[in-house]
Amino acid sequence: MTTDSLFKWRHFLPEIIVLNVRWYCRYSLSYRDLEEMMQERGMEVDHSTINRWVLKFAPELDKRLRPHLSLTNDSWRVDETYIQIKGVWKYLYRAVDSAGNTLDFMLSAKRDGKAAARFFRKVLRANHTQAPRVITVDKNAAYPVAVEALKGDETLAAKTELRQSKYMNNMIEQDHRNIKRLTKPMMGFGSFNTARRTLSGIEAMSMIRKGQVKGISKGESVSQAKFIEELFGISA
């Protein structure tokens, strides 16, 4: 999709739209916070409009980011955390490598062997990941079931080691905290699709913040912001 068609019929400049999406997915802000922040800059933008921007452009950010990610290593840390949708807890599967870099994520209605296997397949399909030498998980009984199924159909190599250790999985549990910090002001999601689309932007911004983009280091916030504008074809 070209930049012109992506922003067609929008009443605000692409720069303003991308700025709001980036801020919402990067910081602990509500839609009403952003509405007030835009008012301070002389722009009347309703919070519901910003909501529509996030749902439209957050998945696009994730999609456009993927080809620019650096290769991760072969030591996986996998865990799931809880996300509230319409008052019901659902499951966000997440994985990082031993350096803390995000491998991938997947929102799931269920927490079982089939869901875990589906998540592993998604991680393996990502262009910036490689087949795992070792997968570290907690004591959730679903993970051995999933790994055995994937070894059975040769999706995973037979020599892939599965380690079940809550202590060794502290890294991914700590990484969940950033997601929780950002989703807390959202007070839960209204639908599964809304959660899925919003989380894709949050996870994409997390990967950028961690310095996973080729040529842009962690902490280079100005370069990261310019990179996102370039992804959407916005001229400086």
Do 105 and 45 share a structural domain?
Answer: no
Residue 184 lies in a domain: no
- Based on the fold, state whether residues 166 and 198 are members of the same structural domain: no
Give the integer Cα–Cα distance in Å for 121 and 115. 10
Instruction: Give me the DSSP letters along 110-154.
Output: --SHHHHHHHHHHHHHSTT----SEEEE-S-THHHHHHHHHHHTT
Each residue of 145-155: pLDDT tens digit? 999 999 999 99
Are 101 and 169 part of one and the same domain?
yes
CA distance 7 to 118: 33
Q: Find the helix packing angle between 14-26 and 221-231, rounded to 10°.
A: 130
Q: How far is CA 233 from its chain centroid? A: 22
Cα gap 205→27, rounded to integer Å: 10
Q: Which domain holds residue 55?
A: 3-68+191-231
Percent of the chain whose pLDDT exceeds 90: 83
Residues 83, 174, single domain; the answer is yes
- Note the pLDDT tens digit of each residue in 191-230: 999 999 999 999 999 999 999 999 999 989 999 999 999 9
The pLDDT tens digits of the residues spanning 54-63 come to: 999 999 999 9
Say if 25 falls within a structural domain.
yes
Number of domains in the chain: 2
